[in-house]
Structure 1
Amino acid sequence: MAKKKQTKAHDEMSFLDHLEELRWHLIRSVLAVVIIGIVAFVFSEFVFDVIIFGPKSMDFPTYRMFCNIATSIGVESDFCKDELPFTIQSRTMGGQFSADIWTAIWVGFVVGFPYVLWELWKFISPGLHPNERKHSRGFILIASILFFMGVLFGYYVVAPLSINFLGTYQVSEQVLNEFDIGSYISAVRTSVIACGVMFELPIIIYFLTKVGLVTPEIMKKYRKIALVIVLILSAVITPPDVTSQIIVAIPVLVLYQVSIFISKMVMKREAKKDGKLMKNA
């Protein structure tokens, strides 16, 4: 009874009331990001030395894994070097402070992503039908798991591949690789956030299918175009070598196939629902 009253009250809210409610959800989300960001700022030494600069060290797990694979098959590899031939520097007065602040904010967003999703869901869910809310249970958990899987993939696969390739690339021995701290952090951040967003593809397809914008037939029809788009995206967030692009493209293509399956399940569920409505009519 209380849920019905709550839904009815939500439906009777004016446009300005909805904006006011959205404003408070956004405020709470921003506060969560800021609080986590402050914690990250306090422990900035750990965040930078262990996490941000982790892919710069040749002791990074990804490099060790590729080095062991290359050694086992008797092939020389750049992943077996003692250190990467580049340095990171700050060329502006406020460069390090600015990098510290923005990194703390991004850490706050990544770590606080489930809470941000929860606030978004609290705003959207009252406008859904009871059956839609029932079938959407686990949305925050699944979306968060996919996001963190993408973040880990970006951090342990895409970021080290990009850093290793770009950090060792030289047009001439006379040109030294001395990267600005902002450029280095941007490479790591782009790899991590882009992969986190890409791994949300099944969730996006689920909702697009629910509103009728996407069908399994459309996804199958444009599969080849999707493959090209995936390869382009892979080229954008990875170094321009074929191996790295393929490594990034494979999980995205798998997610695309999973999204087709999810779209089919949603269509079947909607068809059953329409069948029941026809019988009741």
Structure 2
Amino acid sequence: MTTQAAAPELSCYTAALLSYLETERPSAHTEFAAAIRLAVRTDPAEGGTAFSHHTRIDIDAHGTGLTHRSAAAWATARAALAGEAARRGRVIAVGNTRYLPWSPAYGETETPHWLLVEALADGRWAARDLFQALTPNGAHDPWTGTLTDAELRTALTPPATLTAQAANRDRYALGEEDTPADAREYRWLERAAAVRPPVEAGHWVHGDAALRHVAAQVCRDPRALAAHADDLWTAARHQRYRLTALGHGAGTPEAVDRAAAAWAELPRAARFATVSADRGRPRPAVIERAFTELLDALRDLETTATMRTEDLSHER
């Protein structure tokens, strides 16, 4: 078992997705930065609020894209994993943090977690996990190594339960709505032909309107805030990734830095408010201030970006 260079500020899903795509598309990271957005569905079938952090980038020019698969029997899942890895050189498998020895949640909290695996000639599996973050359980560092067949089976143990929020994350894991595989079974993703262009069903709000909608849902409801703390954390990481990747061209350096700092503060405030509420001392003002600062910073960023665009057009 060894550590490995980390991916930038991404979720475990997008860290694995970009690692999977960059083998064939060196521009995957640039494409992803341009695809990042914040959209929330207010009426998902699972209830609550569903987040979409980016548009889909896995569908290629031939219309093929990633599709969720599952199997109840390990022998079936193993054969499918080996077959897909042989065809593509690697396959995204859905692990479970409670059963990943390198995860800080090992033996404790279970969360779906994507990793790349490849079948080796000796019956073992090469596994790669580029995700890096400081989680509530501790630091999750990038890891690469080999697993026996039995170890891989354990790593992919289906979760005992899946919350509505986790189900929504699976449904929108590729950026836009897709039918997830059965979470009670071993899961992975395969590239399939003739993937239909995604159609956004339901009622969605985007950008600043999405933030205001989420703020209205969580600022005065500690349970809703706790349920969506991971979604806010994921949004913050992706938005900071976008600001870093696109550089200061989006606005003045000061406005970009302010927006990045405000995005970083939002999940910190959410965690603090959640812990405070758990201790019987709700502090809604903390998360309200974080949303207010973020919205102000984004307005400032948009204003300076518009001014820069106008200045450039006048120079021409």
Q: Which has the larger radius of gyration?
A: 1
TM-score class, shorter-chain normalisation, is under 0.3
Q: TM-score, normalised by structure 1?
A: 0.26
Name whichever structure is richer in strand by fraction. 2
